[in-house]
Chain A
Amino acid sequence: MEMRIERLGSTLVAKLDGELDHSCAAEVRERIDMEMNAGGMKNLVMDFDKVDFMDSSGIGVLIGRYKRVNALGGKMLVIRTAPQVDKIIKISGLDKLMDFE
């Protein structure tokens, strides 16, 4: 899993590239949390354009980030998810919890 980070004001944009599963979940969450802390970031955009696979480990990553961003009083947005990713997001009920575009 590769990740590119961009900062737009107080918003962190994490562009993920690869497959999000248990093997990289810890690395992804640690990197995002570190980048959020480092810049005093409040909002988080996770760009899934280049993620062609995610399993329930990714659900854990999304819920965990959502809780942290919420605690900061910020907003979280998940964008450009593939159909396979959408399906697992729906089954877990995440689509009712956070914003997707």
Chain B
Amino acid sequence: MDNYIKIEFPSLSCNEAFARAAAGAFAARLDITVEELADIKTAVSEAVTNAIVHGYAGSCGMIEMRCGVVGRTIEITVSDFGRGIEDIALAMQPLYSGSDDEERSGMGFTVMQSFMDSLSVESELGVGTTVTMTKRAGADFDEK
């Protein structure tokens, strides 16, 4: 790991904006396109929202976010220590929402998958969930 940050914050909705801004600021030091930066911020927003809405579901707990960089690849992990996901494959299906709120779109994992190069989810019931995502900065430059 060339450099990394680790941030802990309570599962308050107002911290979603803080978390994505922090991840964006960390990533912005690399050669990265505006679109890639927006992708990272969006994916972080989804992961943190999942931790708040599903991991802690109304109760409050801590969320840990790590952003690291190796070469030009950014790795972000978002961990909660909440309920855990019973069926990860089901939770990751587009339009599936584990929330009772009928206006949750169920697109969180789909957005993370589409906007990042890789996504992995580890979860244990009653222990918590960790989402790990990577994205290579400047991939858009490579193609040109």
Q: Which residues of A contact B (CB under 8 A)?
A: 19, 21-23, 25, 29, 53, 55-57, 59-61, 63-64, 83-84, 87-88, 91-92
**Is B13 among interface residues, defined by CB-CB distance under 8 A?**
yes
CA distance A19 to B52 in the complex (A): 18
In the complex, which range does the number of interface residues on chain B fall in? 20 to 34
CA distance A61 to B13 in the complex (A): 16
Residues of chain B lying within 8 A (CB to CB) of residue A92: 105, 107, 110-111
Between A and B, 22 residue pairs with Cβ closer than 8 Å are A21-B16, A22-B16, A22-B53, A23-B17, A55-B42, A55-B46, A55-B49, A55-B108, A56-B49, A56-B106, A57-B49, A59-B105, A59-B107, A60-B105, A61-B103, A83-B35, A84-B38, A84-B42, A91-B107, A91-B111, A92-B110, A92-B111
> In the bound complex, do residue B46 and residue A56 qualify as a contact, i.e. CB atoms below 8 Å apart?
yes
Task: Count how many pairs of residues, one from A and one from B, have CB atoms less than 8 Å apart in the complex.
Answer: 69
CA distance A59 to B45 in the complex (A): 13
> In the bound complex, do residue B107 and residue A25 qualify as a contact, i.e. CB atoms below 8 Å apart?
no
Residues of chain B lying within 8 A (CB to CB) of residue A91: 107, 110-111, 114
Residues of chain B lying within 8 A (CB to CB) of residue A53: 20, 38, 41-42, 45
